[in-house]
């Protein structure tokens, strides 16, 4: 009879919690009652062109653009994390903490990826038109800028890199929750549930967007926590 030894494995994070309809409504109200963070110049350098190109008001195409760039800092941190693990490989406690951050960054990338897939699906269902310059080239350029800013900041001042992401997530949280408040008809549009198996199924598109907005808040709060623990750095 053969015996199998099971080794402990790093936990796969499930991502931010999924909320019920009442909790989603409460989350929206909390966001609307909370002032936005005081955005830095770097954050404004990304928000401003996005507002100019896609409009100040929220829209599915603007959200898709934001989701393309939202994944980028997590990608940068994952890459820098592997470098840091290698550098601290002889200090097991620190190496493990850095590795925990890598696992968190990967889970957040997956969560942002589903936000993007959901937005793309909503855009397709509405038959909204997109063009190459605004919806391919511009997101790629902004993502490239954000990626390099994220890893360079992480190298010199990890807390600044986390702060920048917290501002980006705060902006996204407010954009989603405000958009839902300004478009009450979304309460009556059923969630198509295209990614229900991975992301859950919601009562309406309004609730689906509230859930995404709440995810952004969780991402923001995680970055605020990481910002205060500067020892886990490259």
From the list 47, 24, 4, the residue with the least C-alpha distance to 191 is 24
How far apart are alpha carbons 189 and 48 in whole angstroms?
A: 30
**Interacting residue ranges for Fe ion, rule: CB under 5 A:** 67, 70, 112, 115, 169, 216, 219
Q: Which is nearer to Fe ion, 112 or 204 (CB)?
A: 112
Other CB atoms within 10 A of residue 17 CB: 10
- Are the C-beta atoms of residues 220 and 173 closer than 8 Å to each other? yes
Cα angle for residues 141, 114, 111 (degrees, 5° grid): 90
Q: How near is the Cβ of 108 to Fe ion at its closest, in Å?
A: 7
Q: How near is the Cβ of 49 to Fe ion at its closest, in Å?
A: 18
Q: Which is nearer to Fe ion, 112 or 233 (CB)?
A: 112
Other CB atoms within 10 A of residue 51 CB: 13
How far apart are alpha carbons 112 and 133 in whole angstroms?
A: 22
Q: How near is the Cβ of 213 to Fe ion at its closest, in Å?
A: 9
Q: Which is nearer to Fe ion, 95 or 103 (CB)?
A: 103
3-state secondary structure of 171: helix
Q: How near is the Cβ of 140 to Fe ion at its closest, in Å?
A: 17
Q: Which is nearer to Fe ion, 88 or 219 (CB)?
A: 219
Q: How near is the Cβ of 12 to Fe ion at its closest, in Å?
A: 18
Sign of the Cα torsion 57, 115, 143, 159 reads positive
Q: Which is nearer to Fe ion, 70 or 206 (CB)?
A: 70
Which DSSP letter does residue 6 get?
Answer: P
Q: How near is the Cβ of 116 to Fe ion at its closest, in Å?
A: 7
Displacement of CA 7 from its chain's centroid (Å): 31
Q: Which is nearer to Fe ion, 85 or 111 (CB)?
A: 111
């Amino acid at each position: 009879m053969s015996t199998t030894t099971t080794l402990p494995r790093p936990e796969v994070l499930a991502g931010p919690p999924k909320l019920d309809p009442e909790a989603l409504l409460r989350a929206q109200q909390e966001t609307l009652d909370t002032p936005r963070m005081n955005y830095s110049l770097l954050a404004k350098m990304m928000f401003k062109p996005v507002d100019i190109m896609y409009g100040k008001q929220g829209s599915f195409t603007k959200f898709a653009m934001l989701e393309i760039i939202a994944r980028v800092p997590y990608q940068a941190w994952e890459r820098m994390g592997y470098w840091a693990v290698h550098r601290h490989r002889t200090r097991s406690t620190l190496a493990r903490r850095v590795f925990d951050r890598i696992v968190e960054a990967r889970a957040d990338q997956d969560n942002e990826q589903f936000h993007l897939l959901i937005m793309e699906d909503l855009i397709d269902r509405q038959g909204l038109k997109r063009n190459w310059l605004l919806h391919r080239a511009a997101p790629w350029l902004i993502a490239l800028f954000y990626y390099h800013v994220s890893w360079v900041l992480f190298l010199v001042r990890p807390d600044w890199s986390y702060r920048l992401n917290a501002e980006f997530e705060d902006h996204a949280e407010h954009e989603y929750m405000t958009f839902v408040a300004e478009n009450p008809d979304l309460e009556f549009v059923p969630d198509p549930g295209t990614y229900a198996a991975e992301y859950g199924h919601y009562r309406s598109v309004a609730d689906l967007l509230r859930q995404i907005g709440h995810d952004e808040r969780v991402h923001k709060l995680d970055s605020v926590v990481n910002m205060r623990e500067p020892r886990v750095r490259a």
